[in-house]
Chains A and B, each alone.
Chain A
Amino acid sequence: MLLDVRDLHVEFRTRDGVAHAVNGVNFAVDAGETLAVLGESGSGKSVTAQAVMGILDVPPGRITAGRILFRGQDLLKLREQERRRVRGAGIAMIFQDALSALNPVLSVGDQLGEMFVVHRGMSRKDARARAVDLMDRVRIPAAAQRVRDYPHQFSGGMRQRIMIAMALSLEPALIIADEPTTALDVTVQAQVMELLAELQREYRMGLILITHDLGVVADVADRIAVMYAGKIVESAPVRDLYKAPAHPYTRGLLDSVPRLDRKGQELYAIKGLPPNLMRVPPGCSFHPRCPMAQDVCRTDEPPLYPVSDGRGSACHFWRECLHGPDH
């Protein structure tokens, strides 16, 4: 297993109290595999990514428990200096907003080359050559000329390619992409996702795709972990989950997607709002919004029940959900 995250807990101490952003998350990614982490804002998906990458803001954030095993080694036990060596070379990250993730006063060539100067001790000239090479690989036209350009001179899609090039530069074994195409238009999104998938196959990298878009997940992921209020509520192979979700939250999300044959009718909407992370409801955190909730849901927190091979659901009534009224 390339990455194995076990019982991860992250909290944020704020003036108003402690926000439990991640509450006991378990997942694993293999080489060449794409895991999608799906969730709405505040579900803890980005915080999980930041914890794995080691870029959590500490304080106010704090990892209170758990292990992050990368190739068998617990990253949380490493000293900052050793952690730095893993970051970039072992695990790299692609951010949502390329314009704010890139330095506006350095040319893209300098920013790409910096990776080789710092991590590989290359000369500036060699690093520049490698930068051009990388820009070629992510199919930026006229790379040799554009290497001198600054981030604002590129379009959104091209900037995201530069982010991908930067993540690939040290040939990491794992890439974490946090909403990589959310800021892009659909036609450009398709270009970027295709490029990412192709490079992943070529290098046999593990990919963690963090997103809120059910369509993107269906397009590229092998497995999916659905997060709600800091927990994974369902984890499954993508096909199984879309065919028959085993958690009412997943089901609600899939049902709220507008569909052709239901045009003119009301859309299914999950009632209420996601919980405030300072006051996560007791028992199952989804119970105030759940149409299937019973008394037990208000008191007992459901574990991740095994549903089938490689599939789990944190719902006391996963069977009823899986074989719901429309099956």
Chain B
Amino acid sequence: MAPTTEPILEVSGLVKHYPLTRGVLFKKQIGAVKAVDGVDFTLHRGETLGIVGESGCGKSTVAKLLCSLERPTAGSIRFKGEDITGLSGRALKAVRRNIQMVFQDPYTSLNPRMTVGDIVGEPYDIHPEAAPKGERRRRVQELLDVVGLDPDYVNRYPHQFSGGQRQRIGIARGLALRPEVIVADEPVSALDVSVQAQVINLLDRLQSEFDLSYVFIAHDLSIVRHISDRVGVMYLGRIVEIGRDAEIYDHPTHPYTQALLSAVPVPDPEARAQRERIILTGDVPSPTAIPSGCRFRTRCWKAQRRCAQEVPALAVPEAFRGTAGPAAHASACHFAQEAAPVPPAPPGERRLNGNGPG
């Protein structure tokens, strides 16, 4: 299904702070881990939104908030126009049915004492209205078939499967309730290279088969680009740049995105000499002490006084406002400038264009 312009999820001003306390009896709050600190984005029906960022940037917390596994400190998440952040009880349960999650680690996210049939069918215990009792087993077998597993495996246990197969089980469980949105948090990063491609293809196929909208969270930039229609780049709890995939990858205007893209090793030894690497100094600051102004300024080579005083808004930068070019997308930088981090190779010169062996 092609992406539409109909919003299915609208996130605005999303904040999640975890309080840091001291003392046992008289707990005193001494600070907060600002895991998510003001995130806005919209997911359209049928679309895949990729979210990239390094560890600790808050991307997994965003995933948990979207699935109502955590309650936000502030902000709203609208699912088909309805704010779901304040829901509880039956209303919350109904919404959760529509937004399902696929987890990163297929080794710890499946209960080792449950059979595959029980794991994939468990959503039906929680939402009995989704499938009548007599039909569940058949539904589970159908789901296994859909994700490319032998339906006869229903009575096996997770340890009898490889990592890629386990991830398929996790995906089947996510599909059981026929959700409209799937939030996938690093769904392939625990898998071997040759198996990653199989799972990515599966997710791609399921999207058109079941009319799914994806929020795809990962740190592997090339995989995110392959699967996403739009991409948001997160740094220290905020989206610093967001746009269509070509806008972000070929015309990034935020220095962090540029550094991130230039740091990714490219599987092409010929490009080794031509590439201009931006090597960032230092580490990501702690989310308990976020720098004033622009949160990236402590590692930014462009930082000036203004960056310490003024928080840059996530909007189309002034320089590109009114232009129709690919650089005219939202970027939270006072000094946004276009740069191509990886020189585009002349087409046809690189080998990696095969259709696979044979």
Contact = CB atoms under 8 A, between A and B. Distances in A.
B354 A186 contact: no
Interface in B79-107: none
Contacts of A242: 267-270, 351-352
A175 to B, nearest CB: 19
Given A252-B356, A254-B351, A255-B354, A216 B280 contact: no
B226 interface: yes
A261 B347 contact: yes
Contact of A248 (B198, B267, B355, B357): B357
Given A40-B192, A239-B270, A269-B194, A187 B355 contact: no
A231 interface: no
Given A41-B192, A190-B277, A268-B356, A215 B266 contact: yes
Interface stretch (A20-28, A109-117, A120-128, A318-326): A318-326
Given A239-B270, A256-B193, A268-B197, A213 B354 contact: no
A270 B194 contact: yes
B269 A258 contact: no
Contact of B353 (A187, A190, A259, A263): A259
Interface in A210-228: 212-219
B267 A215 contact: yes
Contact of B226 (A40, A213, A258): A258
A326 B355 contact: yes
Contacts of B245: 263
B267 A266 contact: no
Given A155-B283, A187-B259, A218 B266 contact: yes
B71 interface: no
Contact of A215 (B164, B264, B347): B264
B193 A266 contact: no
Contacts of A214: 193, 267
Contacts of B204: 266
B111 interface: no
Contact of B269 (A238, A257, A259, A263): A238
A267 B269 contact: no
A239 B269 CA distance: 6
B149 interface: no
Chain B: interface size category? 35 or more
B357 A255 contact: yes
Contacts of A291: 356-358
A215 B271 CA distance: 11
B351 A219 contact: no
Interface string B276-315: 0101110110000000000000000000000000000000
Given A158-B283, A186-B260, A243 B351 contact: yes
A325 B358 CA distance: 7
Contact of A40 (B193, B222, B223, B225): B193
Contacts of B269: 218-219, 238-239, 242
A269 B198 contact: yes
B219 interface: yes
A253 B192 CA distance: 10
Given A255-B356, A258-B225, A268-B356, A187 B267 contact: no
Contacts of B164: 273
B54 A325 contact: no
A267 B354 contact: no
B352 A258 contact: no
Contacts of A261: 347, 353
A282 to B, nearest CB: 21
B323 interface: no
Contact of A267 (B165, B201, B283, B357): B201
Contact of B283 (A188, A218, A258): A188
A185 B354 contact: no
Interface string B207-248: 000000000000101110110000000000000000001000
B146 interface: no
A42 to B, nearest CB: 8
B263 interface: yes
A260 B345 CA distance: 11
Nearest to A190: B263
Contact of B279 (A191, A239, A244): A191
A211 to B, nearest CB: 10
B162 interface: yes
A274 interface: yes
B325 interface: no
A251 interface: yes
Interface in A268-320: 268-271, 273-274, 290-292
Nearest to B268: A218
A212 B193 contact: yes
B219 A186 contact: yes
A326 B358 CA distance: 10
Contact of B280 (A40, A187, A239, A274): A187
Given A190-B263, A191-B281, 7 more contacts: A40-B193, A191-B280, A219-B269, A248-B357, A256-B197, A290-B357, A324-B354
28 contacts: A40-B194, A41-B192, A191-B280, A194-B279, A216-B265, A218-B265, A219-B265, A243-B270, A243-B351, A244-B351, A252-B357, A254-B267, A255-B354, A255-B356, A256-B196, A256-B197, A257-B352, A259-B353, A260-B225, A262-B226, A266-B204, A268-B197, A269-B197, A269-B198, A291-B356, A324-B354, A324-B357, A325-B358
Interface of B: 54-55, 162, 164-165, 192-198, 200-201, 204, 219, 221-223, 225-226, 245, 259-260, 262-272, 277, 279-281, 283-284, 347, 351-358
